């Protein structure tokens, strides 16, 4: 039998590790990344049953479990749904601190895409602001082919 212990203050454990890994993006993810890389287009998938549009695309609707096989090209503009400003550095961060991540609902989509915000004063970011994707010139076939979203 283990004695009961009352915790009066939290114990903070500091540890860090970086894991390098590869994964298969699957059918939907692969098509999404190839389109980003080759044409600078953002694709989503639309559910034929409930019409919900997912970005990033997926193969099964989270609302009604329909098979998603209709592809739609979305405008590279949308609305900032929420955001956070990051003030601490980690080796896995794609940019130096401070920087902001946001969840952007692209025009025509029903879900949000998490991405970096750029060309913006961190103090002036507001939920509901309109943003536009800025693409890298040399795209590699990953989500960072979208360099960031900037205010319109």
Other beta carbons within 10 Å of 90: 9
Token pair of 138, please? Answer: 């040399």
Do residues 109 and 55 make contact, with C-beta atoms less than 8 angstroms apart? Answer: yes
pLDDT digits (tens, 9 = 90+) for 54-107: 999 999 999 999 999 999 999 999 999 999 999 999 888 999 999 999 999 999
Band (pLDDT 50/70/90 cuts) for residue 37 is very high
3-state secondary structure string across the chain: CCCCCCCCCCCCCCCCCCCCCCCCCHHHHHHHHHHHHHHCCEEEEECCCCCCEECCCCCECCCCCCECCEEEEECCEEEEEEEEEECCCCCCCCCCCCEEEEEEEECCCCCCEEEEECCCCHHHCCCCCEEEEEECCCCCCCHHHEEEEEEC
Do residues 58 and 28 make contact, with C-beta atoms less than 8 angstroms apart? Answer: yes
**So where are the chain's domains?**
26-151
| Whole-number average pLDDT of the chain | 92
Which pLDDT belongs to residue 45? 98
Which pLDDT belongs to residue 149? 98
Backbone angles phi, psi at 144, to 5 degrees: -80, 5
Do residues 73 and 48 make contact, with C-beta atoms less than 8 angstroms apart? Answer: no
Which pLDDT belongs to residue 15? 78
């Amino acid at each position: 039998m283990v004695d009961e212990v009352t915790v009066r203050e939290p114990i903070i454990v500091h540890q860090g590790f970086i894991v390098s890994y590869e994964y298969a993006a699957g059918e939907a993810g692969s098509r999404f990344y190839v389109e980003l890389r080759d044409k600078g287009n953002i694709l989503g998938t639309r559910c034929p049953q409930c019409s919900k549009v997912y970005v990033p695309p997926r193969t099964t609707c989270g609302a009604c479990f329909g098979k998603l096989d209709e592809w739609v090209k979305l405008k590279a503009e949308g609305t900032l749904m929420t955001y956070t400003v990051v003030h601490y550095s980690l080796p896995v961060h794609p940019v130096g601190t401070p920087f902001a991540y946001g969840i952007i609902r692209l025009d025509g989509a029903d879900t949000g895409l998490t991405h970096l915000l750029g060309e913006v004063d961190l103090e002036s970011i507001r939920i509901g602001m309109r943003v536009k994707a800025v693409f890298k010139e040399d795209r590699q076939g990953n989500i960072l082919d979208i360099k960031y979203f900037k205010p319109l």
